Structure 1
Amino acid sequence: MFKEFRDFALKGNVLDMAVGIIIGAAFTGIVTSLVNDVIMPPIGVLLGGVDFSNYFLALTMDHAPASIEAAKTAGVPVLAYGKFINAIINFTIVAFALFIVIRQMSNLKKRIAKGEEAAPVEEKPRQEALLEEIRDLLKARS
């Protein structure tokens, strides 16, 4: 059983998947920062100073906190739909980046396959081919 597990774990696909997951996690951190720190502030300015990450709806009517942090401190349950909007934008950017990477890899594979198929064997000029046939026939007669 240990041998089977070792064989499974050391297959190329499993290692490739593990590397992909680790790189994906690191990439997610980069994209989250891109969304929260680079993309959303200009969008907020264009929309009149809107900061989506601080949009929320308090679920209790007796106390309306000024921010999500204040709500958490006071123990007020909230629906943080602004953070959800940021998460949707984050997902869209990650999905688009993966689409571009997969598309480029697919195009590269097609070019490599086309290059292997397109390498035609150079044919000799017709005169040389005929001369070689004549030579071979003369060798066969003698």
Structure 2
Amino acid sequence: MSMLQEFKTFVSKGNVIDLAVGVIIGAAFNKIVESLVGDIVMPLLTRILGGGLDFSNYYIPLNGQSTTLALTEAKKLGGVIAYGNFITISLNFLIMAFVIFQMVRLFNKLKKEEPQAAPAPAVTPEDIVLLREIRDSLKK
């Protein structure tokens, strides 16, 4: 089978389409979570922890830059460890993981609540029925 034919077979499977849809929805969901963290959670945290905190500009300079510079300016002057950005992204991940956990949990509850159809009684093969009738008639 040629590589083109194998690729066509691979792409035409339903799982690939499902995966593509999942990636697209995940990217859109990521934007929502980034907005939630950046626009709602982080401002609340900075307010609670002392008013003017901005985690995204917290860094450790590696080339002797002043810590009073904004992160973008400090990066232009040399290497920095941007731990504030890491905190923001980590919070982003935790919130997204929690929301996905809650969604999976909800779907699992909905699955459990669906009424299960009673299994159909097993049909006895005809030859077994005939053998039982013969046995019963011999007992008489």
TM over 0.5: yes
TM-score (structure 2 length as normaliser): 0.74
Aligned residues: 117
Quote the residue 1:98 is aligned against.
100
CA shift, 1:22, in A, is 0.9
Letter in 2 for 1:17: L
Quote the residue 2:59 is aligned against.
56
Rounded to whole Å, the distance in 2 between the matches of 1:69 and 1:8 is: 44
Structure 1, unpaired ranges of 5+: 121-142
Check if 1:68 corresponds to 2:71.
yes
Where does 1:1-142 land on structure 2 (aligned, <5 Å)? Answer: 1=2, 2-49=4-51, 50-61=53-64, 63-65=65-67, 66-73=69-76, 75-112=77-114, 115-117=115-117
CA shift, 1:76, in A, is 2.0
Letter in 1 for 2:29: F
Rounded to whole Å, the distance in 1 between the matches of 2:55 and 2:10 is: 45
Q: Give the superposed CA RMSD.
A: 2.1
Rounded to whole Å, the distance in 2 between the matches of 1:21 and 1:84 is: 23
TM-score (structure 1 length as normaliser): 0.73
Letter in 2 for 1:21: V
CA shift, 1:30, in A, is 1.3
CA shift, 1:57, in A, is 0.6
Aligned partner of residue 117 in structure 1, secondary structure: coil
Structure 2, unpaired ranges of 5+: 121-140
CA shift, 1:8, in A, is 1.9
Letter in 2 for 1:101: M
